Amino acid sequence: MDRTVWGFLARGLLAWCGLLFVGGAQAHSSGNSYLTFSVRGDTPVLRVDVSIRDLDFVFDLDADRNGEVTWGETAARQADLLAWVQAGVQVTVADTVCTLTAQDPMASQHGDGVYFSTEWAVQCPGASTQPPPGLALRYGLMFEQDNLHRGLLKVDLPNEQNSAILSPEQPGAPLVQGSTRLWDIFQRYVVEGVWHIWIGIDHILFLLSLLVLAPLASARRSVLAWQPVDRFGLAFTDVLSVVTAFTVAHSITLGLSVMKWVDPPADLVEPVIALSVVLAALNNLLGWFSLKRWRLAFVFGLIHGFGFANVLLDLGLPTQALAVALGGFNVGVELGQLAIVVAFLSVAWWLRHTAFYRWVVVVGGSLAIAVTGAVWTWERLGL
């Protein structure tokens, strides 16, 4: 029986590794583009940053087929890329399309890699040099290829700071005269917080790794011999301690990073987040010798908070309502996290008596998550 189960787990793990290493070159994970609308001198300017990874997915930029897309390969398709961006981004006023004039493209760096960045001078018919009332943006890049893709819009005008998430369901947003009511700002950032935790697969896998043993009672033996807890309150207390530690920790560093009091480089934060996924998953296999999971949640939650901050800062925060936006984003992260916890705990509680839960969910799941985190760590270190 044991040999059969181990064989099943080994084959499953090999298949998982194959998907990661072999299919990774062709697979495409959802990402974001960044749009910033501002005024430079007397000229309204729209900046659009699109990930080279996304562009490669659409245009197959890797000309020499070495598995890496260089800036030279990207620049060689400059005309095609500019035409594609211009076709997918539209600025209008009163249903009249404004003219977008491209400046020279450039490379820029975000937390998840290199981006193709273009700036477009915006000229609207019959308007002065300043952004006219009713000016709006419509965004459609990548939606046909990836319906989970999002455009993160930041409006940075002298008298107005605003932001929005653009999606296939809501591809448009106003560029001026956006609502400045505190409640509207709070609601908008709650939605953004929920969305970020739901698409942040590294955060989700880290959290699930810390929760997978909650329905089992620890004992001085292999984790496979741990018995299911007989009272839901015990599992709930375990989950509560982990979630509270993670929440407190990432809230601390999220606030510190947004206030610019602590600003570690993304090149350091992202690999450590991936490494935290590996360690949390492997910790599940150590049985009695495993570390207290709430402690792992707190220590690495501090690092995950910097990851949340990188996205929030890229999106942009309204300087006149910084506390409200930060609070809304944090509430959104917690709501999204709560939905994941409730869904997982419901299934885990139902399966806790079964060998399937111990062998496949705890052992197999932890091994698969550890392999995934190791691949992410390798990639984020640029190896």
**pLDDT reported for residue 383:** 65
Q: Is 186 domain-assigned? A: no
User: pLDDT tens digits for the chain (383 residues)?
Assistant: 444 544 544 455 444 444 444 444 333 445 789 999 988 888 889 999 999 989 998 999 988 888 788 888 998 999 999 999 999 999 998 878 999 999 889 998 876 678 999 999 998 876 665 677 788 999 999 988 888 788 888 888 877 777 777 888 889 988 876 556 777 778 878 887 887 787 778 888 999 999 999 999 888 878 888 889 999 988 999 999 999 999 899 889 988 988 888 888 878 888 999 999 999 999 998 877 777 899 999 999 999 988 888 777 766 666 566 677 778 888 888 898 899 999 999 999 999 999 899 899 999 999 999 999 999 898 888 76
Q: Is residue 62 in a domain?
A: yes
End position of a domain, from candidates 178, 210, 233: 178
Within a domain: 184? no
Please tell me whether residues 203 and 350 are part of one structural domain: yes
As a whole number of angstroms, the distance between CA 204 and CA 210 comes to: 10
Sign of CA dihedral 117, 118, 124, 130: positive
> Considering the domain boundaries, does residue 155 fall inside one?
yes
Comparing C-alpha atoms, which of 273, 305, 331, 296 is closest to residue 212?
Answer: 296
Both 128 and 199 in a single domain? no
In a domain, 61, yes or no: yes
Nearest-angstrom CA–CA distance, 309 and 326? 10
Question: Other C-beta atoms within 10 Å of 134: how many?
Answer: 16
- The verdict on residue 167 lying in a domain is yes
**Pair (166, 70) in one structural domain:** yes
**Same domain as 350, residue 231:** yes
Q: Check if the beta carbon of residue 295 is closer than 8 Å to that of residue 245.
A: yes
Residue 38 and residue 6 share a domain: no
Q: Are residues 148 and 278 in the same domain?
A: no
* Domain end call among 178, 207, 237: 178
Looking at the fold, whether 215 and 339 belong to one and the same domain comes out as: yes
In a domain, 185, yes or no: no
How many domains does the structure of the chain reveal?
2
The per-residue pLDDT for 330 is: 84
Residues 210 and 352 in one domain: yes
Strand-pairing partners, residue 39, are 44
At residue 106, the pLDDT reads 92
Element (H, E) at 69: none
Neighbours of 353 (CB within 10 A): 12
Specify the pLDDT at position 192.
77
Q: What is the pLDDT of residue 319?
A: 59
| pLDDT for residue 20 | 44
pLDDT attached to residue 22: 40
Q: What is the pLDDT of residue 101?
A: 92
**Encoded amino acid at 358, one letter:** R
Nearest by Cα to 166 from 52, 58, 34: 34
Same domain as 107, residue 50? yes
Any idea of the CA torsion for 201, 335, 290, 378, to the nearest 10 degrees? 20
Whether residue 359 sits in one domain with residue 218: yes
Q: What is the pLDDT of residue 349?
A: 93
Q: Domain range spanning residue 55?
A: 31-178
Q: How far is CA 202 from CA 10, 195, 253, in A?
A: 23, 14, 17
Q: Do 17 and 90 fall within a single domain?
A: no
Which pLDDT value is given to residue 317?
A: 63
**CA torsion angle 293 207 248 200 (round to 10):** 150
Q: Considering Cα of 5, then 276, then 352, then 340, what sign does the dihedral take?
A: negative
Q: What's residue 10's pLDDT?
A: 46
Instruction: Judge whether 8 lies within some domain.
Output: yes
* DSSP state letter for 240: H
Name the token pair of 310: 């990188």
Cβ contacts of residue 289 below 8 Å, gap of 6+? none
Between the CA of residue 99 and those of 104, 118, 157, 261, 354, what are the distances in Å? 16, 15, 19, 40, 63
Q: CA-based angle 101:105:109, to the nearest 5?
A: 135
**Tokens (6 digits) for 367:** 């091994």
Q: Which of 178, 200, 226 is the last residue of a domain?
A: 178
Check whether residue 166 and residue 107 sit in a common domain: yes
